Chains A and B, each alone.
Chain A
Amino acid sequence: MTITIAVPSKGRIKEDAAAVFERAGLTMVSVGNDRSYRGRIEGLDGVEVAYLSASEIARELASGTVDFGVTGEDLVREGMADVDARVEFCARLGFGGADVVVAVPEIWLDVETMADLGDVAAEFRARHGRRLAIATKYWRLTQQHFSSQHGIQLYRIVESLGATEGAPAAGQADIIVDITSTGSTLKANHLKVLRDGIILKSEACLVRARKPEHEGDMNVAKIIEAVRGAV
């Protein structure tokens, strides 16, 4: 059986992924020219590399069309229900670190915790004639954090596909759920992270789509072991 590893096709995360695999003794080489979207692992037959965008990797893992993927934990957890039953997070790779957080305008002096936000959300409709609006691209993570974990049911998600941090100042939403690595973008937009507002501490991971045929497969075991040894 051919094992497919999906890795990011461009940018810093592509280089970092290649470096980890190299340290693991699994050197990735492109097939054809440097810009090719197919590759292989030097000296390891039966394994191919697919260069995809980070969000596509999460999708391909969900559908099981690739065996392994290197991508952000946030994208994987956002991309599918029952995530831990469907994929295995084999190794945390030590790069691409970023937190998915709940952030509110700094000037909301009275809001420091999710409990505060619960109070605000509950009376929002009576005061403003609409529910509290959250701009995010993380629908699933937001729902889990608000509804299941903190018992906040009454809010609306406004889909935001870019520049989410600008939504509150622009009046498109009241607060945001977004990814942040240094916090500087949030700060520049006068937003603050709630004390218990870290939904996920994400980083790049080696993720395996759980498939029965992986059981006893030498290459699968070897890839996991080698990458774990390199991080």
Chain B
Amino acid sequence: MPLIDMPDFADDLLSLFRELKTERVDTPVIQPAEPFLDMAGEDLRRRIFLTESETGVSLCLRPEFTIPVCLRHIESATGTPKRYAYLGQVFRQRRGGANEFYQAGIEDLGDKDVASADARAVADALACLQKVLPARAFAVTIGDQAVFEAVVAALGLPTGWQRRLVRAFGQTDVLEAMIARLARPEAMAGLPAEVEALLEAGDDAALVAHVSAEMERTGYLTNASRAPDEIVRRLKEKRVLAGASLDATKLDALKEFLSLNVSLRYAPGVLADFAKAANLPLEAAIAGFDARVAAFANAGASLADITWRAAFGRPLDYYTGLVFEITERGGHDVLIGGGRFDRMMTLLGAKDHIPAVGFSMWLDRIEKAKEAQR
């Protein structure tokens, strides 16, 4: 087993974090597990080190910094905007690599100028890498959920379908299955005749009463889980979703969009051409995208090093816009991952909407890359 200790470039990073006008924060190594499982889902359970307190509270060793940093911000009731930096150990069960390793990163909370905050996150991330690995070339891949959302909305699908597709964004297999399904409408069968008749008559009140009576009869509480009106509302929505489909032209447009993969230098033109050829109204999304590209250029990032891949996203509901990854040019190891998570702060309990963007550095991989140079 390799000896694990603070990487020798930690001090360089910390001094850069100060130059970048961030406030260094630390968080306890032992964290309540609940927020991590709640945000990232059950899949995380296998990958973290869990234990239980004497009083039965689930605790874990810090698997990452973003959630503790955000929680700390909410608890300390500090105002925004605020730029936090961290550097410390995280703990995860991994098949390959050590179970404890260092991560560092910056979380930028509350900057309402989305384009410039996005650009600064990528530029700061690159600056960090250039400091630790001077004279190396890097490749940045970016994705943008906001553009995908706009494309899906422009196709004219019911909102339920839009939400489904957006949820699958970044999961190729799931998305492909959905696209295949959208080629033709689906029959909806198997409902009890009584329900079918009430649905047909559009009598919502009677439907809710029926569901409510059935729950009572079968011993289900109407307030513990899904309520009768919620079931009826979705039953009606499901009918609409089952009947929905896309014609071949629109399906092809969606597939073509997902296959776009171009240098950021050409991305605004490619996106505009796509919208024009597919005849989709994407003006607002394109304006946001172009503003970010301009902001990248302002922040001094080299557009030639950045690739936009339209299908690149992360399937967690707190990601909202930009996602990015940085590797060495020609390399496979992701050295830095980042993105915009505008929904996380309110999910974690913040009262106000707080836009957030940040990145995290895999210091063990960066150390490996550094050694490879010698």
Residues of A within 8 A of B (CB): 105-110, 112, 115-116, 118-120, 122-123, 125, 127-128, 131, 139-140, 142-143, 146-147, 150-151, 153-157, 168-169, 171, 174, 190
Contact = CB atoms under 8 A, between A and B. Distances in A.
A180 to B, nearest CB: 18
A151 B171 contact: yes
A190 B43 contact: no
B191 A109 contact: yes
A131 B218 contact: no
A112 B218 CA distance: 19
Which 10 pairs from chain A and chain B are nearest by CB? A171-B224, A153-B41, A151-B174, A190-B218, A110-B235, A110-B234, A147-B43, A174-B225, A110-B238, A151-B171
Contacts of A140: 46
B180 interface: no
Contacts of B40: 153
B69 interface: no
Contact of B167 (A122, A128, A190): A122
Nearest to A157: B42
Interface string B272-299: 0000000000000000000000000000
A119 to B, nearest CB: 7
Interface string B180-197: 000000000011100100
B358 to A, nearest CB: 20
Contacts of A122: 163, 167, 317
A147 B235 contact: no
A151 B220 contact: no
Contact of A169 (B46, B173, B190, B220): B220
B77 to A, nearest CB: 22
A153 B315 contact: yes
Contact of B230 (A127, A131, A147): A127
Interface string B205-248: 00000010011001111001110001100110110000000000
A153 B225 contact: no
Interface in B94-143: none
B218 A107 contact: yes
Nearest to B195: A109
A168 B167 contact: no
B225 A110 contact: no
Contacts of B219: 169, 190
B316 interface: yes
Contacts of B46: 140, 143
A107 B214 contact: yes
Contact of A146 (B42, B160, B231, B317): B42
Contacts of A128: 225
A155 B238 contact: no
Nearest to B167: A122
